[in-house]
Amino acid sequence: MGANARYIVGNWVKDRWGSDFPYGTFLINITGCFILGVFGTFLVRFAWNDTWRLLIAVGFVGAYTTFSTFEYESLLLISDGAWGKALLNLVGSVVAGFIAAYLGVIVARLAVGTPHS
């Protein structure tokens, strides 16, 4: 399901924003970080068994997100001389991914009434 979701989201993004920047991979990886932030918080809060972690975090999100494509697309941008876009992709993905994961944790904690320290 994660790979199918990635395919659908990637094509949707490409149709709307084009392919001069890896927008699809960027959006997929950032939303994957958010999903893991929410899910990881719920996993701990509700003491779900390890089967849920394997199903959602490893299975769905693991198939949905892609580090290798992110790196390869960054390399292609550098190869094309688009150093600014490559830097934006590399740094932006890491920073936005961290923020998305953090926001996912906050959203999940608010949903279950746990303080977000």
Q: Is residue 93 part of a domain?
A: yes
- Note whether residue 85 is domain-resident: yes
- pTM for the model stands at 0.81
Query: Degrees (nearest 5) of the Cα angle 69, 72, 76?
Result: 135
Which pLDDT belongs to residue 116?
58
Q: Is 84 domain-assigned?
A: yes
pLDDT tens per residue, range 34-72:
998 898 888 888 888 889 888 988 889 889 998 878 898
Q: 108 Cβ partners below 8 Å, 6+ apart?
A: 37, 38, 39, 40, 41, 42, 45
pLDDT at 94 over 70: yes
Domain that holds residue 81: 2-16+25-111
Do residues 101 and 34 touch, judged by C-beta distance below 8 A? yes
Is 117 inside any structural domain? no
**pLDDT for residue 68:** 77
Q: How many CB atoms lie within 10 A of CB 42?
A: 18
Q: What is the pLDDT of residue 46?
A: 87
Looking at the structure of the chain, the number of domains it has is 1
Q: Is residue 116 part of a domain?
A: no
Per-residue pLDDT, 117: 57
